[in-house]
Amino acid sequence: MTESVIRASETTVPVLPCADAEETLAFYQALGFTVAYKQTRPYLYLALEWSGFGVHFGRPPKGHDPAREDGGCCLIMVDEVAPYHAAFTQAMRAAYGKVLAKGVPRLTRFRSGQTRFTLVDPSGNSLIFIQRDEPAELEYGGSEKLQGLARALDNARIFREFKNDDRAAFRAVSSALRRHGGTAPDLDRALALATLIELATVLNEQDHLDTWIGELEKIRLTEAERARVAAELGHVGDLTQWLAERGPQQERGGGSAQ
C-alpha cells in the first residue's frame, strides 16, 4: 500500500462576514475585484478575486455591526506594498472622486518606507497588506536602544503605521515634547514638531499648527538635518495631495465617501 504524502500545495481563502451583499460587491468591484461567484439565496455567499488572491463572504453573525470594525481580518503578504496602495488609491479616485480615508469603508494612508496598510470594507472587515520583509517583532513603547524624545518618536511610528492609531501617536509625541523638549537634541525636537504637524493634518487638529510651524522655523539645523526634516514634512504634502478630491470626477457624477 502506497503511503499518502502531504505536499505543500495548500491555498487558504478567508470567508468574511458580509452585512450587505450589493454594497460589498459595489465597493470591491470599484477597486477592481472581479466576481467569481455570487449567491444571495437560499444563503449568502460571494467570491471575489483580485490579482493573485481571493476573498469570500458569507452571512454575518447575529449582532454584527460594521461600525465596530471587528467583523473579520485577512492578512495578504506581498513582496512590496506600495504598488498595491497606489492601485487602490487610483481606483478609489476614479470611482468615488476621492480617497475614502475616514470611517467605513476606508483606505489607510501610506508613507514611503512603510511596510503595511489596511483596506477596511463596508462590513468592517480589514484586509491588511504586509510586506514580506517586515520586521518580525515590534517594540511597543519605542525602541529600547533610544531615549527620551527619540524613543517617543519611534513609539509614534508603531502607533501610526502598525496600529492605525493616529490619536495615540499624536498624544505620545505631544507628551514627550513637553517632557523632553527642553533637553532633547535640536534634530529630535524638529522631527517631533514635523510629526505633530503631519498628525494634526490627519486629525484636523488646527489649534497649534501655527505655533509648531513657528517653533520649527526657529530651530537651527545643519544642511543634512534640514534635509531629513524636510523629508518628514514632505509627508504632509503627500498626505494633502492623497486626500485631495478630484473635482472633475465629482462633476461627472462620481460617488462620495460614506
Which run of H or E residues covers position 189?
helix 186-203
Count: domains in the chain: 2
- Whether residue 40 is found in the same domain as residue 114: yes
Adjacent-strand bridge partners of 131: 78
Say if residue 60 is in the same domain as residue 113. yes
113 and 21 belong to one structural domain:
yes
- Verify that 71 and 20 share a domain, yes or no: yes
Percentage of the chain beyond pLDDT 70 is: 94
50: phi > 0 → left, psi -120 to 50 → alpha, else beta; which?
beta
54 assigned to some structural domain = yes
pLDDT tens digit string along 71-81?
899 999 999 99
Grid coordinates belonging to 121 = 470594507
Please indicate, yes or no, whether residues 19 and 83 belong to a single structural domain of this protein: yes
Q: At 206, is the pLDDT very low, low, confident or very high (cuts 50, 70, 90)?
A: confident
Is residue 1 a part of any domain in this protein? no
Task: Tell me, yes or no, whether 163 and 96 share the same domain.
Answer: no
Q: Band of the pLDDT at 257, cuts 50, 70, 90?
A: very low
CB 63 within 8 A of CB 71: no
Any domain includes 59: yes
| Rounded CA separation 209/199 (Å) | 10
* Crossing angle of helices 148-162 and 186-203, rounded to 10°: 30
In whole angstroms, give the CA distance from residue 232 to residue 226. Answer: 10
- Tell me which residue of 60, 108, 116, 73 sits closest to 88, measured CA to CA: 108
Residue 43 lies in a domain: yes
pLDDT at 245: 60
> Helix (H) and strand (E) counts for the chain?
8, 8
CATH code of the domain in which 103 resides: 3.10.180.10
Task: Say if 6 falls within a structural domain.
Answer: no
Boundaries of domain holding 226: 148-243
pLDDT digit string (tens) for 175-186?
A: 999 999 999 999
Q: Say if residue 20 is in the same domain as residue 126.
A: yes
> 3-12, 23-32, 53-62: which has the minimum mean pLDDT?
3-12
Q: Indicate if 23 and 127 belong to the same structural domain.
A: yes
pLDDT at residue number 203: 87
Residues 160, 163, 167, 168: is their CA dihedral positive or negative?
Answer: negative
Of residues 33 and 258, the one with the higher pLDDT is 33
Counting residues of the chain whose pLDDT is more than 90, the rounded percentage is: 71
**Tell me: the pLDDT tens digits for 75-119?**
999 999 999 999 999 999 999 999 999 899 999 999 888 999 999
Look up residue 68 and give its three cell numbers: 465596530
Grid cell at residue 224: 543634512
Q: In this structure, are residues 187 and 225 in contact, taking their beta carbons and an 8 Å threshold?
A: yes
Mean pLDDT of the chain: 90
User: Is residue 143, in this structure, part of any structural domain at all?
Assistant: no
Pairing mode, if any, of strands 73-78 and 126-131? parallel
Q: Which amino acid is at 43?
A: Y
Which 3 state secondary structure label does DSSP give 177?
A: helix
The reported pTM is: 0.82
Give mean pLDDT, residues 163-186. Answer: 93
222: alpha, beta or left? (left if phi > 0; alpha if psi -120 to 50) = beta
Same domain, 83 and 38: yes
- C-alpha cell read off for 115: 511596510
Look up residue 187 and give its amino acid: L
- For residue 21, pLDDT over 50 is answered with yes
Mean pLDDT, residues 133-146? 83
Instruction: Pick the more confident residue, 1 or 49.
Output: 49
Which residue among 131, 160, 178 closes a domain?
131
**pLDDT given at position 90:** 96
Q: Is the pLDDT of residue 246 over 60?
A: no
Residue 139 forms part of a structural domain? no
Whether 139 has a pLDDT exceeding 80, the answer reads no
Q: Which of 72, 96, 131 is a domain's end point?
A: 131
With left for phi above 0 and alpha for psi between -120 and 50, is residue 245 left, alpha or beta?
Answer: beta
In the predicted model, is pLDDT for residue 251 greater than 60?
Answer: no
Angle at 144 between CA 138 and CA 149, to 5 degrees: 100
Whether residue 250 is contained in a domain is answered as: no
Q: With a cut of 60, say whether residue 247 has pLDDT above it.
A: no
